[in-house]
Chains A and B, each alone.
Chain A
């Protein structure tokens, strides 16, 4: 196996494992690495080289997809530090649960009223909250202590919830042409 196939997602991009990431820089690194490993670069190579190129590119794509997305990157970092993520987490803060319920109600109202402006306003509010979460995660992941990690996990659950809501909202938009 090549080193590349053994490496974690940050190392293979030549990066240190942090949440804070320059996405333009990541994309540039991704393209440089694609130029080295992509099967198109090895189209006339021996069969085993082509297989290797395929595996390495698949890994590179996976790594890029993971690191490019704040949500997936957070999850990967939590996982890396041995902090497990559950599908139905218990012990979440009451505030968070109440917020979930009220946001769900709000979406239901928008849906039944077909209120386009309210939908766009809610979408903007969710995006603003997401930006706050992003900033907090960047700091929390730089803290070495468990308290910081647990706080990051709490935020991750909220982030996940918001991302799901955004998808639901986007599906309510009549079409992309209204963007």
Chain B
């Protein structure tokens, strides 16, 4: 006989509704979205049944933008306004874009240190905005499939993305109006999709060659924990480059090299891609090039000829593989499996060279185009709280060292690459002149000694240092990298407590105001009022806070709080609940903050309590496993 359950007044015992979460793989050449339904991760298709959304955005005058297949024709008809491969420009400065820019038709606009924009008929567009358009289309697709707006998304980024590139991705999500649960490394996401399928323990390598980026990660799986030991890569090398090598060969053979226009370049690239893809299955293929001016060229391309063209590029991926193994402290013999991810791993030569290097047969069991999105969907489902019993845990690392400029133009590392995140580290510095009252702080990312060889992330100044003899001030610079891999830096003069704090907005990044105004712009088409939207976001936040508190009070309220404390919390929650019904955004915000303040102690006690239980559980497990042995 079961006991009757009686709920506390105001509390309901019904199971919380499933939340809508999705995983998005925002790729260089194509993007896709996946979600978990009935316990199964599933990539979602558009009305025509296509899962892959080409990462192409076409801007038009006074008309809505076109995204995906609808924009593809524009690559040839309207190349200046049709943006593709924007992922390559995320968080990049003009000097880096320059090399790439020469191969692309776009008119880049850049002032000073900014991330360059691309001039189109609809205005100057940041790569971040174009990425937001792609995200929006995918989020809508998932929303339709799940029957309502998404509660949260996991967006994947190449493991080798630096802080500027991650920040740009996070901004794109903000502009698309998405709630980001986590930025997840692509190889780690793929490992999740594989790991849960196969439950294999041991050391695994994920080799991820996408359209425009290359990552390799060495991970250890054990009992639901995925620990990234090391990661390496090249965030500017991918299948696009293979296409380009083949296209250059075709143009040279045809003798068209010097004088063809942008539309024709697109055509040649598309042809090169087709040839590459058909040579995955066939021994030779006929390529036939027809230019806009009527010139025609045709030839046979054999697989071995093609391999000669792309081999040097694929060989470039092996040095990062070697480095990742070395950094992970893992010998080849210890690796149990190599997982292949990314469309470019369909190229037979890639499989062959990777297999040779790791002396094993690489795995391609899951569609290499989908595996990242599937893993992201699984993680999104867990993070949003749909699988409270899951004990899966991902421990990821930063791919590149973070540091500061010191005297002589050298970089002092504060957090070395492959450190597990989240991480907080501090370093002390001092003044080098008598009476020095300000210190300029230059934040860098990279492995080289000279600052000029590393990426400059940000510069800021700590002012108001009390005048002292050189070398006697103590300035503590703290670096904090969160679970999304995003950095924030603060500096503090220890004797007087002067403080300066910045969220790292990379030199090439967008300011908060810019993100805000882009969000505004993007909503013009959606005809949605920005204030309305903000109110709704605040209301969601209020709901989330109230829900979390109610759940916490239910499980731990009696144990961890006394009557007064409980009453005070309940009152603050009531105030918030009342304001939630109204439309005063500012008051709502204040009530949320107030409730957070009131519940701070409770939150801390709950954390400490969960730690005590974790350690107690450890001892119990010990006991059990000894018992079984």
Give the interface of A toward B (CB within 8 A).
1-4, 12-14, 28-29, 31-40, 43-49, 52-59, 61-62, 64-65, 170, 175-177, 179
Contacts and interface: CB of A to CB of B under 8 A. Distances in A.
Contacts of B395: 34, 38
A-B pairs, top 4 by smallest CB distance, nearest first, are A179-B331, A43-B383, A176-B325, A36-B614
B216 to A, nearest CB: 12
A152 to B, nearest CB: 26
B422 A177 contact: no
B422 A58 contact: yes
Contact of B615 (A1, A29, A53, A57): A29
A32 B614 contact: yes
B211 interface: no
B336 interface: no
B615 A14 contact: yes
A36 B393 contact: no
Nearest to A34: B393
B309 interface: no
A175 B319 CA distance: 9
A2 B612 CA distance: 12
A33 B611 contact: yes
A2 B607 contact: yes
Nearest to B617: A32
A50 B607 CA distance: 11
A106 B466 CA distance: 50
25 contacts: A13-B615, A14-B618, A28-B618, A28-B621, A33-B615, A35-B393, A36-B613, A38-B393, A39-B422, A40-B382, A40-B393, A43-B181, A43-B383, A44-B383, A46-B548, A52-B603, A59-B424, A61-B420, A61-B421, A61-B422, A65-B419, A176-B330, A176-B331, A177-B325, A177-B357
Contacts of B600: 48
Q: For the complex, would chain A's binding face be called helix, strand, loop or mixed by DSSP majority?
A: helix
Interface in B360-406: 379, 382-385, 391, 393-395
Contact of B322 (A12, A56, A176): A176
A128 to B, nearest CB: 19
B152 interface: yes
Contacts of B424: 55, 58-59, 62
A40 B618 contact: no
Interface string B558-596: 000000000000000000000000000000000000001
B483 A40 contact: yes
Interface in B165-186: 181-182
B331 A56 contact: no
A29 B424 CA distance: 21
B225 interface: yes
A37 B614 CA distance: 10
Given A14-B618, A177-B322, A54 B422 contact: yes
Contact of B596 (A38, A46, A177): A46
B482 interface: yes
Given A176-B330, A176-B332, 6 more contacts: A2-B607, A2-B608, A14-B615, A36-B613, A46-B548, A175-B326
A43 to B, nearest CB: 4
A35 B394 contact: no
Interface string B296-325: 000000000000000000000000001001
B423 A58 contact: yes
A61 B596 CA distance: 26
B610 interface: yes
Contacts of A64: 420
Contact of A52 (B419, B420, B607): B607
A35 B395 CA distance: 11
A141 B152 CA distance: 50
A19 B385 CA distance: 40
A174 B278 CA distance: 38
B483 A36 contact: no
B234 interface: no
A39 B483 contact: yes
A43 B383 CA distance: 6
A170 B618 contact: no
A79 B618 CA distance: 28
A44 B385 contact: yes
Contact of A35 (B419, B423, B614): B614
B384 A49 contact: no
A53 B607 contact: yes
Contacts of A29: 615, 618
A172 to B, nearest CB: 12
Contacts of B325: 176-177
Interface string B415-440: 00001111111000000000000000
B494 to A, nearest CB: 19
A43 B182 contact: yes
B223 interface: yes
Given A2-B604, A14-B615, A39 B482 contact: yes
B545 interface: yes
A36 to B, nearest CB: 4
A64 B227 CA distance: 13
Contacts of A14: 615, 618
A16 B254 CA distance: 75
A48 B608 CA distance: 15
Nearest to B392: A40
Contacts of A65: 419-420
Given A35-B391, A54-B483, A44 B608 contact: no
A53 B599 CA distance: 15
Contacts of A33: 611, 614-615
B326 A36 contact: no
A31 B223 contact: yes
A72 B248 CA distance: 53
Contacts of A45: 548
A175 to B, nearest CB: 5
B549 interface: yes
Nearest to A64: B420
Given A33-B614, A39-B422, A46 B599 contact: yes
A53 B422 CA distance: 10
